[in-house]
Amino acid sequence: MSTAQALLSELVAELRVEFPGFRVAFKDESRAQQVIGYGARLFGNPSYVADYITVLGRTVWFPDRAAFDGNPAATVETLLHERVHMWDWARRPVWFPVSYAFCAPAIRTMRAEWERRAYAVDVVAARLSGRKVDAVVEEMQGIFAGPGYFYMWTAVDEIAAWVKSVYATGPVCSRPGDARLYAGIDAYLRRLY
């Protein structure tokens, strides 16, 4: 068993304890996810089912089994990102889904705030894996200012500044419990890289 595969098994077991009822499911096997995918196409995201990983409550929806099984290291990173969403949803069970669902294009939506918390994991992972900051800035600008998340944060200079800050110093711990959450995530990433 590879290091990444062992970490993935360990992480899934940990998530089941931290979030009782946690499960991984697959969009290609769900009629409801297909319907959501149709709706996402109407709002400019034609690849919701095929390319996006989504959290709904304590379920992490991968596009298909190959997306989960194919690259254990990428799956660990993804589950750490989604852990932040599950953490936020558990602590704000009404506000998180309501504010996340409001997706009108804007300078910066509440969805962008929730995603900044989770994508901080991706930025730290990119740094630890040796990716250059400019490439990470470009990727995050495409994610936040693009159609996949319905233009949730269009101020690309602000996105660049945020990425560079997280890349240099790590995520901002602004809510109770954040330091513990991100320390646990950082420990997994350091073992991965």
pLDDT of residue 140: 98
What are the tens digits of pLDDT across the range 100-128? 887 666 678 899 999 999 999 999 999 99
What pTM value is reported for the model? 0.94
Secondary structure, 3-state, the chain: CCHHHHHHHHHHHHHHHHCCCCEEEEHHHCHHHHHHHHHHHHCCCCCHHHHCCEEECCEEEECCHHHHHCCHHHHHHHHHHHHHHHHHHHHCCCHHHHHHHCCCCCCECHHHHHHHHHHHHHHHHHHHCCCCHHHHHHHHHHHHHCHHHCCCECCHHHHHHHHHHHHHHCCCCCCCCHHHHHHHHHHHHHHHC
pLDDT digits (tens, 9 = 90+) for 39-98: 988 877 899 999 999 999 999 999 999 999 999 999 999 999 999 999 999 999 999 999
Domain ranges of the chain: 3-192
